[in-house]
Amino acid sequence: MNPPLLEVERVSKEFGSGPTLVRAVADVSFTTDPGEVTLIIGPSGSGKTTLLSMVGGILRPTSGRVVVNGIDITSLKRRELPRVRRELVGFVFQTFNLLESLSALENVEIALNIAGVTGQVARERARALLCEAGLEQRLHFSAQALSAGERQRVALARALANEPRLLLADEPTANLDSEAGRDVMALLRGLTESRGHAAVVVSHDPRLREVADRVLRLADGRLASTESDGRTALLEAVASSPMAREGADSLRRVARAVRRSRLRW
Amino acid sequence: MVPLARRNLLSEKARFAMSIAGVAFAVLLILIVVSLYRGWSNVGRFYTQLPGDVWVAQPGTSDPFHSTSFLPLADAQRLTKVDGVRTVIPVYARHIAFGAPGHELDVFAMALDVPPTVRLRPDTYEPRSGTIDIDRMLASQAHVGIGDSLRVLGRPLVVASIHSGGNSIFQTAFLNAADARALFGIDDFTNFLLVSVAPGARVATVTAALHQALPGTETHTSEQFATSFADRVNAGFLAVVGVLVGIGFVVGGAVIALTTYTATVERAREFGVLKAIGASGTFLYRVVIRQSLIVGMLGAALGVASAVAATRLIRYGVPEFITVLRPLDAAGVFAVAILMAIAASYVPVRRIDRIDPAEVFRA
pLDDT per position as a tens digit, B249-260: 998 889 888 888
Cα four-point dihedral sign A33, A39, A43, A48: positive
Which of A156, A159, A199 has its CA nearest to residue A176?
A156
Asked, for residue A31, whether it belongs to a domain, the answer is yes
Residue A5 — very low, low, confident or very high, per pLDDT cuts 50/70/90? very high
Nearest-10 crossing angle of helices B327-344, B346-353: 20
Q: Are A64 and A223 in contact (CB under 8 A)?
A: no
For residues B347-363, one letter each, b for 16 or more C-beta atoms within 10 angstroms of the residue's C-beta and e for the rest, the string is ebbebbeebebbebbee
d(CA B9, CA B19): 10
Predicted confidence at residue A252, as pLDDT, reads 56
Mean of pLDDT over chain A: 85
- Residue B285 and residue B352 in contact, taking contact as beta carbons nearer than 8 Å: yes
The SS3 assignment for B127 reads: coil
Q: Determine which helix (DSSP H) or strand (DSSP E) holds A31, and give its type and residue range.
A: strand A22-32
Rounded-to-integer distance, Cα B337 and Cα B110, Å: 44
CA gap A234, B252 in Å, rounded: 70
Please tell me the distance in Å from A238's CA to the nearest CA on chain B.
Answer: 36
Strand B149-152 with B172-175, pairing: unpaired
Sign of the C-alpha dihedral, residues B68, B74, B78, B79? positive
Q: Is residue A81 part of a domain?
A: yes
3-class SS string, A117-153: CCHHHHHHHHHHHHHHCCCCCCCCCEHHHCCHHHHHH
Residue A122 lies in a domain: yes
Of B2, B278, B280, the CB nearest to A106: B2
* Best residue of A46, A60, A88, A99 to probe chain B, by most B CBs closer than 10 Å: A99
pTM value is: 0.77
Sign of the C-alpha dihedral, residues A157, A158, A163, A164? negative
Query: For chain A, what is the domain count?
Result: 1
Interface pTM (ipTM) of the complex? Answer: 0.83
Best mutation target among A52, A110, A118 (most B Cβ atoms within 10 Å) is A110
In sequence order, which residues have a C-beta less than 8 Å from that of residue B126 and are 6 or more positions away?
A: B111, B112, B114, B120, B174, B176, B177
Is B257 or A228 the better-scoring residue by pLDDT?
Answer: B257
Mean pLDDT of the region A167-191? 87
Residues of chain B with pLDDT under 70: 99-102, 119-124, 363
Residue B241 pLDDT: 86
- Residue B135's CB is within 10 A of a number of other CB atoms, namely 23
Chain B CB within 8 Å of residue A173 CB: no
C-alpha gyration radius of chain A: 18
Task: Compute the distance between CA of residue A243 and CA of residue B270 in angstroms, rounded to an integer.
Answer: 48
Chain A, residues 205-264, CB within 8 A of chain B, namely none
Best interface-test mutation with B: which of A54, A83, A97, A163 has the largest number of B CBs within 10 A? A97
Q: Considering only A99-103, A193-197, B4-8, which range has the smallest mean pLDDT?
A: A193-197
Pairs from A238-247 (Cβ < 8 Å, separation ≥ 24) = A242/A1, A245/A1, A246/A1
- Please indicate whether, in this complex, the C-beta atoms of B278 and A115 are within 8 angstroms of each other: yes
The answer to whether A59 faces chain B, any CB pair under 8 Å, is: yes
Residue A82 in domain: yes
Between A218 and B43, the more confident residue is A218
From residue B208, alpha-carbon distances to A61, B152, B211, B336 in Å are: 88, 38, 5, 45
Q: Which of B1, B7, B283 sits opposite A102 (nearest CB)?
A: B7
Residue A265 belongs to some domain of the structure: no
Quick check: A232 pLDDT over 50?
Answer: no
Q: How far apart are CA B107 and CA B109, in angstroms?
A: 6
pLDDT, position A264? 38
Domain that holds residue A133: 6-260
Residue spans of beta strands (DSSP E) within chain B: 54-57, 71-72, 85-100, 103-112, 131-135, 149-152, 155-163, 172-175, 189-190, 192-197, 218-221
Residue A1 lies in a domain: no
The CATH number assigned to the domain holding A166 equals 3.40.50.300
How many C-beta neighbours within 10 Å does residue B3 have? Answer: 16
Whether residue A28 contacts residue A10, with contact meaning beta carbons closer than 8 Å, is answered with: yes
- Between A23-27, A231-235, B34-38, the lowest mean confidence (pLDDT) is in A231-235
Higher pLDDT pick, B107 / A123: A123
> Looking at residue B5, what is its pLDDT?
92
For residue A111, which residues of chain B lie inside 8 Å, CB to CB? 277-278
- Asked whether the beta carbons of A12 and A27 are under 8 A apart, the reply is yes
Helix and strand element counts for chain A (H, E) = 8, 10
A54: nearest CA partner in chain B: B358
Q: How far is CA B155 from CA A162, B97, B135, B179, in A?
A: 93, 12, 19, 10
Please tell me which of the candidates B277, B281, B283 has its beta carbon nearest to residue A85. Answer: B277
Contact residues for B1 (Cβ-Cβ < 8 A; gap 6+):
A113, A118, A119
